[in-house]
Structure 1
Amino acid sequence: MVALMILGALGLLVSAAKAQDCSPLQPAAQLKIAEGYTAQVILNGLTYPRGLVFDTAGNLLISEQGGSGIRRVVLTESGESVCVASSNQLIPDASLNHGIAFSQDGATLFVSSMETVFAYPYDVEAGTVGTAKTVINGMRRGGHSTRTLLAPVTAPDILLVSHGSESNIDNATTDIATGRSIIKSFSIAELLASTTPTNYASGGETLGWGLRNSVGVGEDPTTGGIWSVENSADQIQRSGVDLHNEGPAEEMNYHGVVSDAANPMKGLNYGYPACFAAWQTSNIPSNAGITIGSQFGGVAGTPYEQVTSRTSAAEVDEFCRTERQGPRTVFPSHTAPLDIKFKEDGSAAYVSFHGSWNRSPPDGYRLGKIDFADGQPVANVSSTTAVEYILENPDNTVCPGACFRPVGLAFDTQGRLFMTSDQTGELFVITGV
């Protein structure tokens, strides 16, 4: 077991409260960090910081949810530490709430609201943006609000946009035409050249659907493989048995190489709203054949009979296992993974677990590492120990109100991992990854 150190409010995490002199900044909440890693708070007072991305000059752009728009943070080195030289609002748009990505040349900044994706010309030297252009619209205003953006390094003309469900069990998403619970790909060149915005539901190409709420979307830079992390359903029941505290599992799903025209994963359905992955199996009624990580159905309130044309639990479960794409890794229920980023050599993925809102006791609120080899997770899908947790709250009973809640992740060119915590309004840098 990884040895753990507790770093608390004694100021053992050093960062930059005052950007000019890199004076120490104490974390808002006590932290538990695995041996071999360091964590520093380098900026606080942010307004629910969510997604983050580096520009081509190494400056950090952060999407702040709750009215502040996009912030530009200029970093500087001080000895062996990184700290903040300046922090300023770049785009004052209260509708922007999560998604942020750069085109591969760094000249275009994409940001998203619940309904729209905007493109801004970006001047990296001046640190300014030009006039916004609406490139994608028609996304539904309701339910899950984030619209995650990713411009893969290995597919420079592609912008991926993830759209979650409108409700906990969004039965209408059995129809792909709803444009919800889906990840779509769009040509950046076509978006920028078009004189009118592209409608999300009818435009683009489907990378994967049947994905309840894939807030985290990331790329393995060594293979070009696209991965998403799934926030699964709340309050589920099967045959009158309440399963919600230990089920269903959160998921890590694989979508293949987006630049590969023959990608066999392209367009697959991952099961929602009829099928879910199992975490705890012993309390699932009629659980023959259900294993950790396998898909099952028959959940109250879902359209499984219409989707599968089968009625018994065993028949529905078989449909979910054989005719829907299952996850590659599963996580504990309600831990809410919100981002996934890979090391440059592809040896590990890091996932931020934002934490539960309705589980007893609370769970999540940590940063995890998943080992990879040859483009795939090392652990089997049935493993309950696939994640090494490197940054945690020492006492989850005080969560979510009095602990850090990780959201966005980004690696810099030196291999340091930057992370936002929306609950505490902080920006962290983590080394040893």
Structure 2
Amino acid sequence: MGRVSTTVAGVAALASLFVPDVAAQSCPGVSGRYQPKMGSGYRASVLATGLRQPRHLVIDSAGNLLVAEGGSQNVRRIVLQENGDNVCAGSSSTLSGTSTNHGIALSADGNTLFTSTLANVIAYSYNPSTGAVGTGKQIVQGMSNTGTHPTRAIATSKFSPDTILVARGSNGNIDTSTTDKSSGRSMIKTFSISQGQQTAHQYNTGGEVLAWGLRNIVGLTEDPVYGGIWSVENQMDDVRLSGRDIHNNNPAERLSYHGALSGGPNGTATNRYKGLNYGYPSCVPAWDPQNVGLQNVVVGTLFKPDGVPNANDCATRMPGRLHFHAHTAPLDIKFNANATQAYIAFHGSWNRNPADGYRVMRVDFGPDGQPVHDVSSKTAQVPVMENGNIGGCPNNCFRPVGLAFDSKGRLYVSSDTSGEIYVIYGA
């Protein structure tokens, strides 16, 4: 028997935000704490406040919003209601017995809910209409770290529906043991869902390595049209080169491409991207080549900083597809329905002065399923939602974490530090 979610106090509804040339609208309820600055053609409103560190998000097949609520370690289900041109929160409930600190995903048929914790990936039967969940079963185990990076980004595939992707970060800023693939860290692996439901996979020894040499992947997704797998990475802190402190503007954060899983429109049995190494911990990508000060370095060029293991030729490692400002901390990426745009949540810096990030940005894609901008571009990001006063960050601003699109193309954004969910219209 499934366990019906336990209803708690209703979620606060939409609050108006001031956006140039767009009439402010709201739903009854508590206003949000901040008024974001919106990019051209976008408007936003606050759907929910008072959540406990909301992290990743997903929309179920009945149109409800599921939130990985890191502060409570549970999944919250928000029933959405139409209100004119806006969407409002009709009710809020906790899915009883669920456990997560960050990751959440649904199976291709929408009837299985997956969550991630520090150590495990857990599967629950799920009824989108009622919110009933079954008893959780661990399908991936053995992911605990003794150091930093406790999040485990997860994603499922509509083109390869028996596959779940699981990212595990490094054990510290410079995790030297990850030069060995058998460490089971700083990588993305794929696992069979059906096999895991029979006998749980062990992360280190089970599954298949899709990509490694990736310091800390906190968001990954599948392109809904071409089937490509994409990840966003948080790169190294406090980087020095030849004794010089270059950390303020280096290294770059990174968007990486990992090919299509078998079964996708571009998927083959021999994905040429499968198993590639992206350089960490020995090689990091440049954001400010002049500050790096080496010859033949452009944005995205991999170089060897101080204090890392001896590198094989960094030129032989797989580069990112696009790069972003240092320390802006991209935590999620989601595509619109026709895969012409990818939206990225930048949680914001702690290792930079002045602070940077704290925004949602857009990257445009072409008909080949790839970004329209070159790998070394510094102008690939289009502003969508930013803090009006970044000087108040990180404590007095919104910090985007998770993203999810609904069937009407509305983009939901979680802010963990402020406990809010925003809705962006025009995406």
User: Is 2:136 the counterpart of 1:125?
Assistant: no
1:32-66 deviation digits (Å, cap 9, x = unpaired):
11121110101110000001111111111100112
One-letter amino acid of the counterpart of residue 412, structure 1: D
Deviation at 1:141, TM superposition (A): 2.8
The one-letter code of the counterpart of 1:104 is A
Distance of 1:44 and 1:68 partners within structure 2:
17
Residue 106 of structure 2, aligned match among 90, 102, 107: 102
**CA deviation vs aligned residue, 1:242-275 (integer Å, no higher than 9, x gap):** 0110000000000000123211000000000011
Letter in 2 for 1:302: V
SS at match of 1:282: helix
Q: CA shift at 1:393, angstroms?
A: 0.7
Give the letter aligned to residue 96 of structure 1: T
Amino acid in structure 2 at the alignment position of 1:288: Q
Match of 1:242 among 224, 240, 245: 245
Residue 261 of structure 1: aligned partner: 269
Alignment of 1:264-283 (within 5 A): 264-283=272-291
Q: Deviations over 1:398-425 (max 9, x none)?
A: 1000000001001101111111011111
- Amino acid aligned to 1:326: P
For residues 379 and 152 of structure 2, the distance between their equivalents in structure 1, rounded to whole angstroms, comes to 30
Match of 1:146 among 142, 151, 156: 151
Paired residue type of 1:295: L
Deviating more after overlay: 61-70 vs 273-282: 61-70
Match of 1:289 among 292, 296, 311: 296
For residues 239 and 92 of structure 1, the distance between their equivalents in structure 2, rounded to whole angstroms, comes to 52
Question: Whole-Å Cα distance in 2 between the matches of residues 74 and 32 of structure 1?
Answer: 27
Q: What corresponds to 2:228 in structure 1?
A: 225
Matched, 1:301 2:307: yes
2:390 matched to 1:396? yes
Question: In structure 2, how many angstroms separate the alpha carbons of the residues matched to 1:232 and 1:53?
Answer: 26
Partner residue of 1:62 out of 64, 67, 73: 67
1: CA distance, partners of 2:35 / 2:73: 26
* 413, 419, 422: which one aligns with 1:425: 419
In structure 2, how many angstroms separate the alpha carbons of the residues matched to 1:197 and 1:155? 19
Residue ranges of structure 1 left out of the alignment (5+ in a row): 1-5, 16-21, 309-318
Q: Percent identity?
A: 49
Q: CA deviation at 1:198?
A: 1.1
Shift of 1:96: 1.7
1:155 aligns with 2:156: no
Q: d(CA) in 1 for partners of 2:308 and 2:101?
A: 29
Question: Is the Cα contact below 8 Å between 2:186 and 2:212 reproduced in 1?
Answer: yes
Which of 323, 327, 330 aligns to 1:330? It is 323
Give the match for residue 4 of structure 2. none
Q: CA deviation at 1:24?
A: 4.9
Amino acid at match of 1:110: F
Specify the alignment match of 1:207 in structure 2.
210
Distance 1:53 1:346 in 2: 17
Superposition deviation, residue 282 in structure 1: 1.1
Is this contact kept in 2: 1:99–1:112, CA < 8 A?
Answer: yes
Matched, 1:116 2:120: yes
C-alpha separation in 2, matches of 1:415 and 1:31? 20
- Kindly state the Cα deviation for residue 25 of structure 1 after the two structures are TM-superposed: 3.9
Judge conservation of contact 1:292–1:382 (CA < 8 Å) in 2.
yes
Task: Tell me the TM-score normalised to structure 2 length.
Answer: 0.91
Q: Which moved more, 1:360-369 or 1:115-124?
A: 115-124
Q: Which stretches in structure 2 are left out of the alignment for 5+ residues? A: 1-16, 263-267
Task: Tell whether the 8 Å contact from 1:68 to 1:92 is kept in structure 2 after alignment.
Answer: no
**CA deviation vs aligned residue, 1:78-110 (integer Å, no higher than 9, x gap):** 1121111110111455x6210101111111111
TM-score scaled by structure 1? Answer: 0.90
Q: 1:334 & 1:160 partners in 2: Cα distance?
A: 25
Cα distance in 2 between the residues matched to 1:86 and 1:199: 38
Measured against aligned partners, the alpha-carbon deviations of 1:287-306 in whole angstroms (never above 9, x if no partner) come to 10111111111x12210x2x
Q: Does 1:174 align with 2:174?
A: no
> How many residues are treated as equivalent by the alignment?
401
- CA distance in 2 between partners of 1:27 and 1:131 (Å): 35
Q: Is the 8 A contact 1:114 1:139 kept in 2?
A: yes
Q: Deviations over 1:324-349 (max 9, x none)?
A: 00011000000000000001111110
Partner residue, 1:376: 370
Counterpart of 1:388, as a letter, is: V
